């Protein structure tokens, strides 16, 4: 069997974050049972951070770890996003430039709400499996932000949507897909996918979102059950409890995953509450740790949960991780792969926890000022020079070189490295 | 074909089951005081609790239905109606 999977994987969780509990109080949200939602922090995009800068910052350490000849084998650069600033031009063209990749490379972008990162990953996997260009690699960059301006007015679609603000983050995941699956060896053909039309959450206007959070939760749960059932058809001996040492879920917020896991344990195994609780702590919680710090980064969240699982799990012997991805609208997929002790060790080179710790802590006043300042880069902005002095503490929060948006000149985005 | 009387009885029985489930998911709520016109949010249920109440009610009634069938449900009565229609 041809080996395939993720050779390298890195997360960039932004430069600044906000305490979510503080935000909920500030917005006057009903905090009854708020703790059950299992939210802690969310990364917030600075005005001079956009999906391109976040994506490049996630991918750069991977590119730097490759030799020139290895780098030249990247023949596909896929951006996966719901936050692009152009309907035509792919953000992968910018990233290709700032990462200095070989020009004999396919550059394109995928949209499929929060399912986009998994879509890109599967395209990369199948490109490698096809062996049309033996030894070639695909760089998949899932990158999303939420500049928080809720679509105003309306009924069902915005009611209850206020909780989206504390849960929505900003960040990117870069995955190098190849025939050397050092981080995550994909189980080839073990994929259960399931999709149908539903109007749960969407981005029908620029710089804003709308959604029916209850419907989205219901749809997520339907999809989890259905995609796992399809996975079982393709992997007949698969068992929700025994086949996977860990589970990495697309995580809009932690409490939702706890509920989803509880449903699966009850439906599939008729498990009792105490068994479900301890199983959640053991197999699911490791994947939530980073998600609780960064928030929902949409297309990149499943990868974020996977990284969190690898860093916080125990891999003395190779272990299988079950992954579930869901994108509103909707499409979903349950897939799996194997992680080893070497994978865990190899991932350490990216110091993901250190970088999350280095993020700047925003006060509420700074956050409100940031939202106001972000209107300078609204969708469709033709010309603007970014104020590099804005929240300088956040800009200088890390010791690693980072890419920031410098200027928009006749719609063309120009970036600069921080060091 | 069930007549109107049977339908009212059915709705009453389903509501009793739903109230029982509500007290299980929201232990602080006195289910005897729950009115069918109320919405679950006003009882302190968050989105996870609301979904849990829908799922447990379906399980008790032996109903298998896509959860999205409950999308747009505004109060307990509308939820009961979806359950009754599919009993």
Within a 13 Å sphere around the CA of A167, how many CA atoms are in the beta-carbon half? 24
A54: Cβ contacts below 8 Å, ≥ 6 apart: A12, A14, A45, A143, A145, A170, A171, A172
- The Cα-based distances of A104 to A115, A214, A254 in angstroms read 27, 45, 41
Lowest pLDDT segment from A51-65, A195-209, A355-369: A195-209
- Which ranges of A9-140 does DSSP label H, i.e. alpha helix? 20-26, 51-64, 68-71, 91-99, 116-130
Pairwise CA distance, residues A118 & A143, whole Å: 12
Strand partners, A150: A209
Whether residue A212 and residue B70 make contact (CB cut-off 8 A), yes or no, is no
Whether residue A218 and residue B71 make contact (CB cut-off 8 A), yes or no, is yes
Thinking of the domain B4-85, which architecture would CATH place it in? Answer: Orthogonal Bundle (1.10)
Residue A159: pLDDT band (50, 70, 90) is very low
Catalytic residue among A105, A250, A261, A331: A250
Across A181-306, the runs of DSSP E, i.e. the strands, are 184-195, 201-202, 210-211, 246-249
Pairwise CA distance, residues A419 & A396, whole Å: 10
**Residue A343, burial from CB neighbour count under 10 angstroms (0-12, 13-18, 19+):** buried
Tell me the domain boundaries of chain B.
4-85
Mean pLDDT of chain B: 90
Q: Scanning every residue of chain B, which has its alpha carbon at the shortest distance from the alpha carbon of A30?
A: B44
Which 3 state secondary structure label does DSSP give A4? coil
Which 3 state secondary structure label does DSSP give A55? helix
Instruction: Give pLDDT, residue B1.
Output: 59
ipTM greater than cut 0.90: no
Residues in B closer than 8 angstroms to A262, CB to CB, are: 52
In Å, how far is B68's CA from the nearest CA of chain A? Answer: 5
Mean pLDDT over residues B68-82, rounded? 94
Within a 13 Å sphere around the CA of B48, how many CA atoms are in the beta-carbon half? 22
Over the range A254-282, which residues count as b (16 or more CB within 10 Å of their CB) and which as e?
Answer: bbbbbbbbbbbbbbeeebeeeebeebbee
Q: Which domains does chain A have, with CATH numbers?
A: 5-417 (3.40.47.10)
A291 is catalytic: no
Q: What is the pLDDT of residues A315-327, one digit of tens each?
A: 999 999 999 999 9
Tokens of B29: 């709520």
Residues in A closer than 8 angstroms to B55, CB to CB, are: 221, 263
Q: What is the pLDDT of residues A372-390, one digit of tens each?
A: 899 899 999 999 999 999 9
Instruction: Give pLDDT, residue A143.
Output: 98
Closest CA to A182 of A400, A9, A369, A407: A9
Lowest pLDDT segment from A80-94, A386-400, B2-16: B2-16
pLDDT over 60 at A93, yes or no: yes
Catalytic residue among A80, A105, A114, A291: A114
Mean pLDDT of chain A: 94
Pairwise CA distance, residues A114 & A333, whole Å: 11
Pairwise CA distance, residues A138 & A128, whole Å: 8
* Residue in the structure block whose two tokens are 């280095």: A358
In Å, how far is B43's CA from the nearest CA of chain A? Answer: 10
Pairwise CA distance, residues A409 & A92, whole Å: 19
Of A32, A163, A218, the CB nearest to B67: A218
């Amino acid at each position: 069997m041809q080996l395939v999977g993720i050779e390298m994987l890195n997360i960039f969780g932004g430069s600044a974050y906000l305490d979510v509990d503080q935000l909920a109080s500030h917005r006057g949200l009903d905090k009854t049972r708020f703790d059950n939602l299992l939210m802690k922090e969310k990364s917030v995009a600075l005005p001079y951070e956009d999906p391109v800068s976040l994506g490049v910052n996630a991918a750069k350490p991977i590119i730097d770890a490759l030799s020139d000849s290895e780098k030249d084998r990247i023949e596909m650069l896929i951006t996966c996003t719901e936050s692009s600033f152009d309907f035509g031009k792919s953000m992968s063209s910018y990233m290709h430039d700032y990462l200095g990749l070989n020009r004999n490379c396919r550059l394109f972008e995928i949209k499929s709400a929060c399912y986009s990162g998994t879509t890109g990953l599967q395209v990369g996997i199948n490109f490698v499996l096809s062996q049309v260009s033996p030894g070639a690699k695909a760089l998949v960059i899932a990158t999303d932000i939420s500049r928080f301006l809720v679509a105003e007015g309306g009924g069902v679609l915005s009611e209850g949507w206020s909780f989206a603000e504390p849960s929505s983050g900003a960040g990117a995941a870069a995955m190098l897909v190849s025939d050397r699956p050092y981080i995550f060896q994909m189980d080839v053909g073990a994929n259960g996918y399931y999709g149908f039309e539903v109007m749960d959450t969407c981005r029908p206007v620029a710089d804003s979102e709308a959604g029916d959070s209850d419907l989205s939760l219901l749809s997520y749960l339907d999809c989890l059950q259905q995609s796992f059932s399809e996975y079982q058809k393709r992997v007949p001996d698969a068992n929700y409890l025994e086949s996977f040492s860990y589970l990495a879920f697309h995580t809009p917020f932690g409490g939702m995953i706890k509920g989803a896991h509880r449903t699966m344990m009850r439906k599939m195994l008729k498990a009792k509450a105490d068994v479900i609780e301890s199983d959640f702590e053991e197999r699911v919680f490791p994947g939530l740790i980073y998600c609780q710090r960064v928030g929902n980064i949409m297309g990149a969240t499943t990868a974020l949960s996977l990284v969190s699982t690898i860093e916080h799990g125990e891999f003395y012997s190779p272990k299988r991780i079950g992954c579930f991805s869901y994108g509103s609208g909707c499409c979903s997929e349950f897939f799996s792969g194997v992680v080893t002790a070497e994978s865990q060790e190899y991932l350490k080179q990216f110091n993901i926890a250190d970088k999350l710790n280095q993020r700047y802590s925003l006060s509420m006043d700074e956050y409100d000022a940031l939202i106001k300042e972000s209107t300078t880069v609204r969708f469709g902005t033709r010309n603007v020079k970014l104020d590099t002095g804005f929240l300088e503490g956040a800009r200088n929060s890390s010791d690693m070189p980072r890419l920031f948006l410098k200027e928009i000149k006749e719609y063309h985005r120009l970036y600069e490295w921080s060091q | 074909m069930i007549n109107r009387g049977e339908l009212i009885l059915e709705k009453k029985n389903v509501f009793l089951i739903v109230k029982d489930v509500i007290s299980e998911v929201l232990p602080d709520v006195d289910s005897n005081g729950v009115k069918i016109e109320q919405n679950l949010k006003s009882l302190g249920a968050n989105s996870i609790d609301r979904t849990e109440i829908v799922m447990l009610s379906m399980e008790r009634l032996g109903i298998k239905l896509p959860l999205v069938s409950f999308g747009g449900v505004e109060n307990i009565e509308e939820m009961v109606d979806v359950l009754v229609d599919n009993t």
